[in-house]
């Protein structure tokens, strides 16, 4: 007789519970020089139109047109004397006062006309006679502004400069109460007497100092204590990337003028590619932003490791190649603890710029800003565009009437289980904000970053307390910051992979300046099997 089989009940496999993980906002900013599989925490793979603060990621403000020129804006510079502040912008042939333009869409009368080059170097200089602004472009006579009018300077003007043809002087800066100039296409620099706008110029030859040929490109002052003093150094840089640093105050006195050293860096990205910051002088080079304090103490091969822009080194090199040798520049924007690096537009390189948090060194990309040149005026950053516009930065909630989109993608993460598949079911974003905005959360997997379509902009709530737009005594002073609240929302995701990158997009197309800062994002996910 066959023995029967008895069914033995088997306990059902327990369903695995979902797990959660919290990611703080990537306040290290964009990081493109780390391995995707082992990137450090708090870095972003993509960070577009959001600024990394010490506490989160702030949606950037827009930009608005304040003036129009007759051609591409090649240079901008300012003049300040007492309570008077002037903002000038230059095209190829003209210089305009754009401090207060009646109609920003109409080209104003020019202060200077008939110039042959619009790429200027500018410096403000004080004497017993007042405050003055000097311009040099290497093609036309020097121009001097006295607070009221402009004057061409040569050997017959008053003041006059003798000993050198002023139309050959391409760059100007102040050092130890003297004006210094670079003579275009040569190894010669020139300086004027102390506290003077004119006089007999003294020649300074760098021909026996530099070893790689070429010509002088730019120069500046390295103030080692963040102020003017006896420890300042005078810096000369060639177009081949050679740097000479001098000590002393009088190039005409061998007892008071000494070469500290000659150093090598990669070529500098234009004559305006220098920026004093604290007790250092930052130099924009093909390899990145290099502090001169590191130039004088490190081997040239190791300088890229000390670059301020090291976190975005691959992006920096890519843009250097794409921008076709056009000049770059760098300004500080203290209102937002921000530095802005211009990236001139070409036929193959779109409108964008690099921005950096000056306190934390975190980087981001701002797209849609055609930053042909930059200036800080009345505590606001301005950029000049290749189509002749002067734009105020970080103002309003659109780019001169055009929408812009924030894109944030975190570095890929294995969610505590390398090699194992994970299914992200939901994501929760946490913001601090005072105004409505629309966001879209998504996830990319397995090191392939793909964004879905961006959300629509939120409905326009009007100007609110926008400076120069909100009505005085009606708009609430600092209303945005006073009413910030936490905004939290869960969203369905449904993406599976072994490496995960959360993403957020926000579209801006309103009147008021955005006031939203990303704090964190939570992921709810399930673990699967090992990927084979």
**pLDDT tens digits, 480-515:** 455 899 999 999 999 999 999 999 999 999 999 999
Mean pLDDT of 448-460: 96
Residue 476 reports pLDDT greater than 60: no
What secondary structure does DSSP assign to 186-243, as a single string? SSEEEEPPTT-SSEEPEEEE-TTT-SS-S-EEEEEEE-TTSSSSTT-EEEEEETTSEE
Would residue 453 count as lying in a domain? Answer: yes
Residue 429 reports pLDDT greater than 80: yes
Least confident of 12-26, 304-318, 435-449: 12-26
Residue 160 reports pLDDT greater than 50: yes
Mean pLDDT of 342-351: 93
Going by the DSSP 8-state scheme, the letter that residue 40 receives in this structure is: P
At a CB cut-off of 8 Å and minimum separation 6, what does 346 contact? 322, 323, 324, 326
| b/e per residue 489-500 (b: at least 16 CB within 10 A) | eeeebebbbbbb
Residue 113 reports pLDDT greater than 70: yes
% of the chain with per-residue pLDDT over 70: 92
Would residue 277 count as lying in a domain? Answer: no
Would residue 243 count as lying in a domain? Answer: no
Tokens at 459, concatenated: 């409905």
Would residue 185 count as lying in a domain? Answer: no
Classify 317 as helix, strand or coil: helix
Kindly report, residue by residue over 408-428, the tens digit of the pLDDT: 999 999 999 999 999 999 999
Per-residue pLDDT at 457: 96
Alpha carbon distance 124, 127 (integer Å): 10
Would residue 38 count as lying in a domain? Answer: yes
What secondary structure does DSSP assign to 374-428, as a single string? EEEETTEEEEE-TTSEEEEES-SBSBTTB-EEEEEEEPPB-TT-TTEEEEEEEEE
Residue of 39, 18, 26 whose CA lies nearest to 503: 26
Residue 470 reports pLDDT greater than 60: no
Which residue(s) pair with 503 in the sheet?
409, 442
- Dihedral pair phi/psi, residue 20, rounded to 5°: -125, 150
* Angle at CA of residue 190, ends 186 and 196, nearest 5°: 155
Classify 325 as helix, strand or coil: coil
Per-residue pLDDT at 226: 56
Would residue 422 count as lying in a domain? Answer: yes
What secondary structure does DSSP assign to 466-508, as a single string? -TTTSPTTTSPTTHHHHT-EEEEEEEEEEEEESSEEEEEEEEE
Mean pLDDT of 335-359: 96
Would residue 484 count as lying in a domain? Answer: yes
Kindly report, residue by residue over 243-297, the tens digit of the pLDDT: 999 999 999 999 999 999 999 999 999 999 999 998 899 999 999 999 999 999 8
Cβ-based neighbour number of residue 97 at 10 Å: 19
Residue 183 reports pLDDT greater than 70: yes
- Could you give the number of structural domains in the chain? 1
Going by the DSSP 8-state scheme, the letter that residue 431 receives in this structure is: E
Please give the mean pLDDT across all residues of the chain. Answer: 93
Going by the DSSP 8-state scheme, the letter that residue 159 receives in this structure is: S
Mean pLDDT of 348-372: 97
Mean pLDDT of 79-108: 98
Would residue 347 count as lying in a domain? Answer: no
Kindly report, residue by residue over 189-225, the tens digit of the pLDDT: 999 999 999 999 999 999 999 999 999 999 999 987 6
Tokens at 23, concatenated: 């990611």
Name the maximum alpha-carbon separation found in the chain. 130
Tokens at 285, concatenated: 């080079």
Per-residue pLDDT at 463: 65
Per-residue pLDDT at 462: 74
Residue 467 reports pLDDT greater than 80: no
What secondary structure does DSSP assign to 72-107, as a single string? ---EEEEEEETTEEEEEEE-SS-EEE-SS-S-TTSP
At a CB cut-off of 8 Å and minimum separation 6, what does 347 contact? none
Mean pLDDT of 370-399: 98
User: Half-sphere exposure of residue 388, counting CA atoms within 13 Å on the CB side?
Assistant: 15
CATH number at residue 410: 2.60.120
Under 8 Å between Cβ of 230 and 203: no
482: domain range?
Answer: 19-61+406-530
Classify 336 as helix, strand or coil: helix
């Amino acid at each position: 007789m066959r023995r029967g089989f008895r069914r033995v009940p088997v306990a059902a496999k327990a369903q695995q519970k979902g797990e959660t993980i919290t990611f703080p906002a990537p306040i290290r900013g964009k990081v493109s020089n780390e391995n995707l599989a082992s990137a450090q925490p708090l870095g972003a793979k993509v960070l577009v139109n959001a600024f990394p603060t010490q506490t989160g990621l702030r949606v950037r403000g827009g930009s608005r047109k304040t003036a129009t020129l007759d051609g591409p804006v090649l240079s901008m510079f300012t003049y300040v004397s007492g309570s008077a502040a002037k903002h000038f912008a230059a095209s190829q042939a003209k210089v305009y006062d754009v401090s207060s333009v009646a109609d920003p869409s109409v080209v104003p009368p020019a202060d200077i006309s008939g110039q042959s080059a619009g790429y200027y170097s500018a410096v403000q200089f004080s004497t017993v006679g007042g405050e003055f602004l000097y311009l040099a472009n290497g093609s036309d006579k020097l121009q001097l502004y006295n607070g009221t009018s402009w004057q061409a300077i040569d050997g017959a003007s008053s003041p006059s400069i003798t000993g050198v043809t002023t139309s050959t002087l391409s760059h100007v800066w102040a050092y130890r109460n003297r004006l210094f100039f670079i003579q275009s296409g040569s190894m010669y620099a020139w300086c004027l007497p102390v506290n003077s706008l004119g006089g007999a110029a003294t020649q300074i030859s760098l021909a026996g100092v530099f070893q790689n040929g070429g010509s002088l490109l730019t120069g500046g002052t390295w103030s080692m204590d963040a102020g003017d003093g006896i420890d300042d150094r005078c810096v000369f840089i060639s177009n081949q990337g050679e740097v000479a640093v001098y000590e002393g105050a009088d190039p005409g006195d061998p007892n008071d003028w000494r070469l500290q050293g000659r150093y090598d860096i990669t070529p500098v990205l234009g004559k305006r590619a220098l920026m004093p910051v604290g007790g250092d002088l930052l130099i924009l080079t093909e390899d990145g932003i290099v502090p001169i304090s590191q130039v004088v103490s490190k081997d040239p091969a190791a300088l890229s490791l000390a670059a301020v822009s090291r976190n975005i080194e691959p992006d920096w090199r890519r843009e250097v190649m794409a921008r076709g040798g056009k000049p770059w520049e760098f300004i500080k924007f203290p209102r937002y603890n921000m530095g802005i690096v211009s990236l001139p537009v070409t036929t193959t390189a779109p409108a964008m710029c690099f921005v950096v948090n000056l306190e934390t060194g975190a980087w981001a990309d701002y797209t849609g800003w055609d930053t042909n040149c930059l200036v800080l005026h009345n505590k606001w950053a301005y950029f000049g565009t290749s189509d002749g516009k002067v734009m105020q930065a970080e103002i309003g909630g659109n780019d001169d009437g055009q929408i812009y989109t924030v894109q944030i993608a975190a570095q890929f993460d294995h969610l505590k289980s390398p090699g194992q598949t994970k299914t992200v079911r939901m994501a929760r974003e946490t913001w601090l904000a005072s105004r409505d905005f629309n966001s879209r959360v998504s996830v990319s997997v397995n090191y392939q970053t793909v964004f879905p379509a961006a959300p629509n902009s939120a409905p326009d709530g009007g100007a609110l307390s926008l400076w120069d737009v909100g009505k005085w005594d009606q708009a609430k002073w600092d209303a945005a910051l006073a009413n910030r609240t936490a905004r939290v929302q869960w969203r369905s995701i449904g993406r599976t992979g072994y490496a995960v990158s959360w993403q957020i997009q926000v579209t801006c197309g309103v009147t008021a300046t955005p006031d939203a800062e990303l704090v964190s994002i939570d992921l709810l996910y399930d673990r699967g099997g090992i990927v084979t």
